[in-house]
Structure 1
Amino acid sequence: MSTKKYIPTAMALYFIYFIHGIGVSILGQYKQNFAGVWGASKLEDGTFDVSVVLAVIAALGLGRLITLPFAGPLSDKFGRRLSGLIGIALYIFYFVGIVFSPNMYVAYAFALMGGAANSFLDTCITPSILEIFTKNGKVANMFTKFSISIGQFVLPFVIGFVATTQMSFKTIFFVTGALLVITAILIAIMPFPPMNNTTGSEPVKKEKMKFNATSIAVIAIGFTCTSTFQLWLNCNQELGKMYGLADPTKIQTLYALGSMTAVLVTAVLINKKILKAVQVLAVYPTISAIMLLVIYFVETPAITLIGGFVLGFAAAGGVLQLAVATANEMFPTNKGKITSIIMIASSIANYVILNIAGMITKAGGVQGPKYVLLFNVGITVVGILIALFVNKQFANQDNKVKAQLPNAI
């Protein structure tokens, strides 16, 4: 199979994740605006209680959770293209609908659509990328995260431009919706590779999915690694203000820069076999946990900026994508389904963990963001322990293979 004819398709798929990078971050950047529109109460310092916005952001995870059980099988049965088009259509409804929402309940409904969009896009894009780049699937899939990070990196500059030109913040939502319409046309006409292609030749025969402790642990990493970066992504602005940072949006910029850097660095480390993908699943969360503790104890504006970059690198630099790629290798003929399962774990994290974060923020008042940091440390440490188990299982498997080689000769 020639990969070249599918390169434009891959670029279009990566572009969708660029838009997704904006979509997954933009509510977090405009929490005060939306909280005011949706009638949130004010805190002692005069700012709005953003817990209502965190609840709507969490609905993105619920929307994914509801639809992922259907999105994966649909992608495997009817094709990646249909799954992608459904996802784009739902995302357009989300971007346009959220800005017209008069209260959090209507916004919640549109956020559910946004989450559903994410699930259909995940089960289109990840399998398609793995089927296009059969020889470097793990690295290619990491570049979906790179695309998301570019969107997150660009967003603060776009927000600044919109503010400087005195345009409504709603402009960003409308422009992204229009870009998705164009992308939908491209996805509708561009070629897609054969489904379940793993070798570059003929699609292989499907097999029944059989789970063991290792595969379940990899799925659990989808939960823990998502918790780490989502808690930071949606709570860092308030933390920056608490620590006296004049422009908290800089945290988002450095976070995105860190995640982009991580994708490039990790791609080199994996290609040169300095680190295995499965080792990254343990090393990067360890870095995240250490950084979160440093931020908790060192209350300075500079540490939030440093933390933004380090957590962008270690928490959001492709750990989820590597977990998905690792799971896809374990289930090569059920890529849509296993992608769905990993993303279900990720969605549960997005919904449950962010709802808990909202409660912690509300109960903690002005100290809420610091309590969220401690909560994040606990979740991240659990992820490290799970990743260490996965590494041990992979090492045992490698040792068994090596032990059989002399006999094979």
Structure 2
Amino acid sequence: MSNQLRIGSSIYINYILLGMINLIIALHMGFLTEQLNTDAAAISALISAIGIGKLIALSFAGKLSDNLGRRPMLITACFLYVVFLVAIPFAPTYTVAFMFALLAGMGNSILDTSSYPALIEVFRKRSSSATVLVKAFMSVGSTILPLMITFFMARDMFYGYTFFIMAAIFLFNAIHLFTLKFPEANVLEEVPQTEEEKEKNIKPVKAALIFKEKPKFMREGITVIAIGFTSVGLFLIIQTWLATYAQEVIGLPEAQAINLLSIYSFGGFVTVIILATLLDKLFKPITALIIYPMVAIIALVSLLFVESYAILVVLAFILGMATSGLFQLAVTLMAQFFPEKKGTSTAFVTLSSSIAFITLPYLTGLINRHIGVSYVFMFEIVIAVIAVVLAAFISYRYRKVFDLKSKNKILWRNP
């Protein structure tokens, strides 16, 4: 196996495990409430602690990724997860468990700000496809974990075995990462010189894409960060409230309502595979960032007017397809605009996603409590409209900034 494929495999294995970690506290709530002598609300706060740890680490993870390189940060993330996974089943008190949950959140930020830039640098020609596959592997992890838990529960085995198996894989992957050679972080390709430049002894410059004008963080950067927020909001709100809407408004039984979430997740998995196959071949990330939210708007409006279960299944599948993988595309786009600081730029987009994870569940909860779950989906339509507007603007700026007709991959040069 080539070094390139080994790097990609190690990163994707980490994201399979991350897909499991995103659910592991919630799915072991019964065991943890008994172990830590607390209630379900406190265990839910452990999940929030992971989000807090993620926010804390974002203040330094991106810069360290750019300065120290991708490999040491990936290895650090693996070891942080090993500590978290081994410690939680033995945590004697809630406070101790909370501290280790913070560590897991920090590991999440370190993993994101090193993995996405590494994939972009390793798979230069298929960077969009490489990053969007992250979502697919996380879906694989979220599918595997319930099966593992069921296996151990059926045999009345210690719940911690699930944690220990994951820790062992993280440890093995960390050791494997030591043996891999990563491309140097943020290294840009040398620009081919013209004959006139050679005659004038102009020094060659290095870069990644031809810029007709230099992008600005306060314009292109802030827009992509906002897209990161809306992309998370689009799938998070549907994932959180679709089953509730189906039960309370449509009147479906609980089993059918929950089944809609499975259909939604399957649609997301399908779209990620489609994106990974077709991105950079038939269309660019910016195209998907415009079209997908537009499809989501149509599906969400339809959702408010239908009552047939068969149509709801179709809409759930379409919504899954229209809202998955957008965050990964935003990360790729940010790295294209600011290729000299991929880790730092990834951190900013990841920060916006963290803010979405913290604020939107609370805000939609208030909407549901005071005016009803239907208005949650009206709010979701507003987010989708904002996503389309942001994507249209960044598409306009993309054409202004990049020389799309050039076959060379060069960066804007200072005059």
Identify the match of residue 188 of structure 1 among 159, 178, 182.
178
**Could you say what secondary structure the match of 1:193 adopts?**
coil
1:321 and 2:319 are equivalent in the alignment: no
Distance, in Å, in 1 between the alignment partners of 2:289 and 2:184 is 29
Residue pairs, 1:40-59, within 5 angstroms: 40=39, 55-59=45-49
Contact 1:239 1:370 in 2 (8 A): yes
CA positional deviation for 1:127: 1.0
Identify the match of residue 253 of structure 2 among 240, 244, 250.
244
Distance, in Å, in 2 between the alignment partners of 1:95 and 1:272 is 40
CA positional deviation for 1:10: 1.5
CA positional deviation for 1:314: 1.9
Question: What residue in structure 1 maps to residue 284 of structure 2?
Answer: 276
Residue pairs, 1:15-94, within 5 angstroms: 15-29=13-27, 39-40=38-39, 55-94=45-84
Distance, in Å, in 1 between the alignment partners of 2:163 and 2:316 is 25
AA aligned opposite 1:378? V
Question: What residue in structure 1 maps to residue 194 of structure 2?
Answer: none
Give the paired residue count.
385
Distance 1:391 1:58, change over 3 A: farther
Contact 1:134 1:200 in 2 (8 A): no
Identify the match of residue 349 of structure 2 among 327, 342, 345.
342
Distance, in Å, in 2 between the alignment partners of 1:198 and 1:101 is 46
AA aligned opposite 1:321? Q
Distance, in Å, in 1 between the alignment partners of 2:106 and 2:346 is 14
Question: What residue in structure 2 maps to residue 406 of structure 1?
Answer: none
Question: What residue in structure 1 maps to residue 220 of structure 2?
Answer: 214
TM-score between the two structures when normalised by the length of structure 2: 0.78
Residue pairs, 1:88-237, within 5 angstroms: 88-99=78-89, 108-167=98-157, 169-199=159-189, 204=206, 210-236=216-242
Which structure 1 residue ranges, 5 or more long, are not aligned? 41-49, 403-409
Contact 1:217 1:390 in 2 (8 A): yes
Question: What residue in structure 2 maps to residue 45 of structure 1?
Answer: none
**Could you say what secondary structure the match of 2:185 adopts?**
coil
**Could you say what secondary structure the match of 1:135 adopts?**
helix
Distance, in Å, in 2 between the alignment partners of 1:292 and 1:174 is 41
Q: Percent of aligned pairs with the same residue? A: 30
| 1:224-249 alpha-carbon deviations (Å, 9 max, x no partner) | 11122223334556556653132766
Q: Over aligned residue pairs, what C-alpha RMSD do you find?
A: 3.7
Question: What residue in structure 2 maps to residue 44 of structure 1?
Answer: none
Distance 1:100 1:182, change over 3 A: same
**Could you say what secondary structure the match of 2:124 adopts?**
coil
CA positional deviation for 1:214: 2.5
Moved more, 73-82 or 168-177: 168-177
Distance, in Å, in 1 between the alignment partners of 2:42 and 2:33 is 7
1:392 and 2:399 are equivalent in the alignment: no
Contact 1:58 1:355 in 2 (8 A): no
| 1:71-94 alpha-carbon deviations (Å, 9 max, x no partner) | 011011111112112212222333
Which structure 2 residue ranges, 5 or more long, are not aligned? 192-203, 209-213, 407-415
**Could you say what secondary structure the match of 1:65 adopts?**
helix
CA positional deviation for 1:258: 2.3
Distance 1:252 1:107, change over 3 A: farther
Distance 1:267 1:13, change over 3 A: closer
TM-score between the two structures when normalised by the length of structure 1: 0.79
Q: Which has the larger radius of gyration?
A: 2
1:264 and 2:273 are equivalent in the alignment: yes
Contact 2:215 2:401 in 1 (8 A): no
Distance, in Å, in 1 between the alignment partners of 2:238 and 2:189 is 38
| 1:346-389 alpha-carbon deviations (Å, 9 max, x no partner) | 1111122233345556x46xx97655444433333322221122
